[in-house]
């Protein structure tokens, strides 16, 4: 049985207060619909993604005999077409894989890197930092990793050639797709910044210059041609030759520093996943420069004290979670690219440190503020195949439509991943969060990311796969879904339906979804918490896996699809 949930529903401490408005704005554009989820169940295989066509493309690969990695590549490429404000081959990401044949987990890092000419002071102008240069325009562009990452995953684990998994994306870009409501809102939101750009104007705007409305047919035939030209040797054809020359030439013409040599030198990295036991599960995630370790730290601090006995989303439970979340974000300041900085992950996840951080949180002891994550234009999806393999991918171009530049001849939206570095110590990024020394710009360095794909094992087999989108709310959202499923034993749809909270230590403000019950909000305020009610916080996708049943749910905070067989 195949179920696409588009068509069938299957029920089942005071700092910088002035920054809160800007942070709220970044959170609010994630979506504007009431918190809810849609789900599908199937006995053998499942794909959930932030796009119904992407979920269907992944399922099509599985039905053709492909595995979860083949499906993941197809989903990634379709998302780059239908959700181009969030991700695409001009960006990068992380892939977490459970491989049933070896009973092992693998972590693939294809995060973007700083160009070779990048310098820590590259955004200083007249002795002052100009953070806008890291967010918009050619100096914001880091070396894309998406194509290299998908090629590496297919080469190691796939059974299909790139041209085969790219076929659904090529067809949608060439023949058109219906503009989804989320992308339509994103286009309208950034229209003043992109409507004059010929590449964006030709794809996303009407002939008289207005943003296309939801439901309009969108065509990106130049992107279709680029994906076709990648053939069965995508990394070779993207990072060398004509495409690389066009991309580098475009960036140079617009005042950027990314070169053909930077593209030719890019390499994805296989890393060892990090993990921590929680409630009888072994929870795995990506190591730095991901923020998966922060998720594990929060779970580790929540592991004692009979969390389930507090009641899901009860004021005592939320108060404890707020404090643990704050400590996790404070420790995040130690995270960065491990090739440049010694990140003490083992120490941060050690029983001794977890106990100290828990004690500090429960007794409201002062700790130094830390910077939180800040990539926003991000997409997540999960795949489980009939062979027992599971994959979770988070992929991004950073803020909406990245650097607000697209290469017209290629149809490729370029990232603004340089803003994920600390532009300068104390200088806020797109989420009004200050940069840290560990995460300063350096040639070839990968910026710190909030992306935190997660796979939880029970008795050595996958039981939950989850990931999220939405800047720092990825960390809090994935953590809360993990707690809801692993501690409270909720199904994925029920977990995604719950209102969420977010505390990132700086600013000293707890963000709460407005759908939280009023009495809960009143009790949290009575405890002394400064609350900011927001429409929604991020978006999470999840699949739970039991014998003979896969249950997948996508988050209507952003939209998408769930498809299974």
φ, ψ for residue 439 (rounded to 5)? Answer: -110, 25
Residue 68: pLDDT over 50: yes
Cβ burial of 186 (10 Å; 0-12, 13-18, 19+) is buried
390 and 367 assigned to the same domain = no
345 and 482 assigned to the same domain = yes
CB 404 within 8 A of CB 136: yes
Cβ burial of 161 (10 Å; 0-12, 13-18, 19+) is middle
- Is 444 inside a domain boundary? no
For residue 362, the model assigns a pLDDT of 83
- Segment 330-348, tens digit of pLDDT: 999 999 999 999 999 999 9
Which residues form the catalytic set?
Answer: 378
148 and 81 assigned to the same domain = yes
Residue 157: pLDDT over 90: yes
Q: What percent of the chain has pLDDT over 70?
A: 89
Question: Across all residues in the chain, what is the average pLDDT?
Answer: 89
- Segment 534-563, tens digit of pLDDT: 999 999 999 999 988 999 999 999 999 999
Q: Label residue 413 by pLDDT band (50, 70, 90).
A: very high
| Rounded mean pLDDT, 417-439 | 71
For residue 39, the model assigns a pLDDT of 85
- Is 16 inside a domain boundary? no
323 and 357 assigned to the same domain = yes
Q: Cα separations (Å) of 59 from 47, 379, 388, 565?
A: 6, 18, 15, 8
212 and 327 assigned to the same domain = no
| Rounded mean pLDDT, 267-281 | 97
- Is 33 inside a domain boundary? no
For residue 426, the model assigns a pLDDT of 59
Q: Label residue 210 by pLDDT band (50, 70, 90).
A: very high
Q: Which helix H or strand E contains 563, and what residues bound it? A: strand 561-564
97 and 235 assigned to the same domain = yes
pTM of the model: 0.91
User: Where in 235-362 does DSSP place strands (E)?
Assistant: 269-271, 274-278, 281-285
Q: Which of 399, 394, 550 is nearest to 467 (CA)?
A: 394
Residue 19: pLDDT over 70: no
For residue 425, the model assigns a pLDDT of 64
- Is 151 inside a domain boundary? yes
Secondary structure of residue 230 in the 3-state scheme: coil
Report the CATH number that the domain containing residue 491 is assigned in CATH.
3.60.20.40
For residue 430, the model assigns a pLDDT of 52
For residue 10, the model assigns a pLDDT of 31
| Rounded mean pLDDT, 3-10 | 32
Residue 20: pLDDT over 70: no
| Rounded mean pLDDT, 364-374 | 41
- Segment 397-410, tens digit of pLDDT: 999 999 999 999 99
Q: Which of residues 415, 439, 463 is at a domain's end?
A: 439
- Is 230 inside a domain boundary? yes
103 and 225 assigned to the same domain = yes
- State which residues form the domain around 413: 45-270+382-439
> How far apart are the C-alpha atoms of 145 and 122, rounded to whole Å?
22
The DSSP annotation for 134-185 comes to GTSSGGGPPBP-HHHHHHHHHHHH-SS-HHHHHHHHHHHHHH-EEPPHHHHH
- Is 354 inside a domain boundary? yes
154 and 247 assigned to the same domain = yes
282 and 361 assigned to the same domain = yes
For residue 364, the model assigns a pLDDT of 63
- Is 36 inside a domain boundary? no
User: Where in 260-357 does DSSP place strands (E)?
Assistant: 269-271, 274-278, 281-285
- Residue carrying structure tokens 């062979």: 387
315 and 410 assigned to the same domain = no
Q: Label residue 36 by pLDDT band (50, 70, 90).
A: low
- The count of structural domains within the chain is 2
Residue 269: pLDDT over 80: yes
- Segment 73-111, tens digit of pLDDT: 999 999 999 999 999 999 999 999 999 999 999 999 999
180 and 160 assigned to the same domain = yes
Beta-bridge partner residues of 106: 97
265 and 359 assigned to the same domain = no
| Rounded mean pLDDT, 484-498 | 95
């Amino acid at each position: 049985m195949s179920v696409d949930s588009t068509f069938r529903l299957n029920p089942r401490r005071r700092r910088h207060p002035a920054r809160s408005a800007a942070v709220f704005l970044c959170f609010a554009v994630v979506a504007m619909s009431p918190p809810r989820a849609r789900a599908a169940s199937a006995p053998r295989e499942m794909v959930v993604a932030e796009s119904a066509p992407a979920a269907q493309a992944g399922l099509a690969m599985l039905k053709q005999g492909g595995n979860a990695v083949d499906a993941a590549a197809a989903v990634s490429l379709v998302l780059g077409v239908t959700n181009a404000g969030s991700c695409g081959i001009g960006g990068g990401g992380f892939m977490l894989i459970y491989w049933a044949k070896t009973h092992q987990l693998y972590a693939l890092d294809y995060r973007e890197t700083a160009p070779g000419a990048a310098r820590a002071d590259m955004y200083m102008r007249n002795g002052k930092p100009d953070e806008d240069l890291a967010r918009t325009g050619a100096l914001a562009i880091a070396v894309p990793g998406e194509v290299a990452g998908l090629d590496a995953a297919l080469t190691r684990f796939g059974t299909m050639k790139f041209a085969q998994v790219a076929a659904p994306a090529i067809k949608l870009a060439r023949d058109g797709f219906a503009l989804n409501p989320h992308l339509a809102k994103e286009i309208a939101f950034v229209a003043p910044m992109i409507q004059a750009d010929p590449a964006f104007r030709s794809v996303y705007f009407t002939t008289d210059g207005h943003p296309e409305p939801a439901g309009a047919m969108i065509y990106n035939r130049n992107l279709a041609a680029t994906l076709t030209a990648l053939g069965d040797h995508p990394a070779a054809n993207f990072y060398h030759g004509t495409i690389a020359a066009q991309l580098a030439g475009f960036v140079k013409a617009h005042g950027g520093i990314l070169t053909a040599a930077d593209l030719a030198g890019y390499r994805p990295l296989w890393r060892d996943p990090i993990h921590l036991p929680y409630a009888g599960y072994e929870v795995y995630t990506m190591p730095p420069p991901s923020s998966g370790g922060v998720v594990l730290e929060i779970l580790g601090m929540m592991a004692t004290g009979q969390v389930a006995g507090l009641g899901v989303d009860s004021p005592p439970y939320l108060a404890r979670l707020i404090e643990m979340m704050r400590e996790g974000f404070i420790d995040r300041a130690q995270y960065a690219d491990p090739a440049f900085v010694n990140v003490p992950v083992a120490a941060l996840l050690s029983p001794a440190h977890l106990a100290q951080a828990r004690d500090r949180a429960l007794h409201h002891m002062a700790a130094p503020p830390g910077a939180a994550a800040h990539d926003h234009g991000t997409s997540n999806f999960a795949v489980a195949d009939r062979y027992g393999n599971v994959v979770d991918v988070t992929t991004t171009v950073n803020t909406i439509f990245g650097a607000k530049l697209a290469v017209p001849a290629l149809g490729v939206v370029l990232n603004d991943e340089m803003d994920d570095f600390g532009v300068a110590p104390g200088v806020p990024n797109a989420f009004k969060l200050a940069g840290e020394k560990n995460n300063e710009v350096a040639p070839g360095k990968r910026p710190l990311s909030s992306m935190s794909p997660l796979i939880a094992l029970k008795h050595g087999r996958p039981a939950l796969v989850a990931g999220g989108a939405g800047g720092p709310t990825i960390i809090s959202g994935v953590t809360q879904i993990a707690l809801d499923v692993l501690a409270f034993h909720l199904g994925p749809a029920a977990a995604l339906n719950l209102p969420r909270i977010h505390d990132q230590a700086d600013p000293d403000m707890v963000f709460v979804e407005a759908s939280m019950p009023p009495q809960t909000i009143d009790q949290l305020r009575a405890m002394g918490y400064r609350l900011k009610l927001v429409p929604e916080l991020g978006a999470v996708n999840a699949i739970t896996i039991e014998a003979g049943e896969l249950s997948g749910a996508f988050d209507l905070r952003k939209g998408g699809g769930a498809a299974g067989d």
